[in-house]
Chain A
Amino acid sequence: MDRNARDDVQRAMTALAAGDRSAFRPVFVALWPLVQRFCERTLRDRDRGQDAAQAAMMKLLLNASDFDPARDAISWALGFAAFECLSARNRSVRSREQSDEEVLMKAETAEPDPERAAIARDLRDAASAALAHLRPSDLAVLEAAFHGQGPPGSTGTAAAFRKRLQRALERLRVIWRHMHGTE
């Protein structure tokens, strides 16, 4: 745009800002193609560029009455265009991120919660290791209690069984504390 054309746009924009409606057409005819080209080149997409250009043009005209004649009209107009292009780019990046997140969230996993599954596995391994150090008689008592069975073997009262279970659990706690330093 040459110097004369730039001055014409400046004069028209100043008149439009003051309320001179006859300046609307010259302003529109000068700025609309400029804003369109800017947006299409910045976004490298004709459709998105058109959307951004229209949004920029509407914002520019909404704020036209507040235009400060001391400012350069072309730069002011391109400021709106740049902002809309930036917003369009950010929206596009956000929508891509969101669709990636949705894909990950929907991905099938073996465990409902991988962290909990890992903890459960570690606890099972630790318990197995502790149980391996128990005497066979204690192990038998614990197994019988786990399966809800009566005292192992053909002899022994319920009270005696409960006492043996208590002692087996106590020995297991001691082994666990010794191995893992915690209850």
Chain B
Amino acid sequence: MGPSDAEVMRRGRTIYEIGRLRRSSRMLLYVLPVLACGWLIGRPAVLIVPAVAVLSLVAIASAYVHLRYEKAVLTGIAASVPALLLPWAIGGVGLLRIAGAMIDPCIPACVVAGGIAGAVVAVRASGEQRHWSSWLMSAAVAGIVGAVGCSVAGEAGVLGMAIGTLAGSAPVIARREWRGA
């Protein structure tokens, strides 16, 4: 006598979860190259290694839970590429004299890049049914990757990026909430 339908269903659930895990592990294909860029542009291992560990865990766990969070992670990674590369690209310019003050251009670059990331993740999340959780996931991922890039400008760069992300997201979220209300 073969297994009962209940047994087949139980085995099927386990197999389904294994299939989800297999799918979610493909997120490493996106996470690792992005953070490899961070290593290539000279970011220190003390920053890259924890970022790889945390981001890998977040990406795989999110994708395992639901497709919307998989998309949120991918959006966060894509949105944070300017924050990863822009400060490094303009870092060689040196200090700029603006209105009589000497300013490190990396800091405003981090704010701008953060703003771009914030706007992109907010626009993407506003199209989702559970937009808050999607936004939080995307913003967290963008923050991790962006922090690797904006650490070129030190804590001020990372703070600037975070402020930029919030500032970029705020109008989009406010508009959505106002329309939804």
Interface residues of A (CB under 8 A from B): 16-20, 24-25, 28, 32, 47, 50-51, 54, 57-58, 61-66
Contacts and interface: CB of A to CB of B under 8 A. Distances in A.
Nearest to B23: A65
Given A24-B13, A50-B2, A18 B68 contact: yes
Interface stretch (B14-22, B75-83, B112-120, B172-180): B14-22
B12 A17 contact: no
Looking at chain B, what size class is its interface with the partner chain? 20 to 34
Nearest to B18: A62
A50 B7 CA distance: 13
Contacts, number: 51
A58 B67 contact: no
Contacts of A57: 8, 12
B47 to A, nearest CB: 32
A63 B3 contact: no
B15 A62 contact: yes
A54 B4 CA distance: 11
Given A57-B8, A65-B23, A18 B66 contact: yes
A54 B16 contact: no
A51 B8 CA distance: 11
B67 A17 contact: yes
Contacts of A16: 16
Interface string B26-67: 000000000000000000000000000000000000001111
Nearest to B5: A32
Given A18-B67, A18-B68, A20-B66, A64 B16 contact: yes
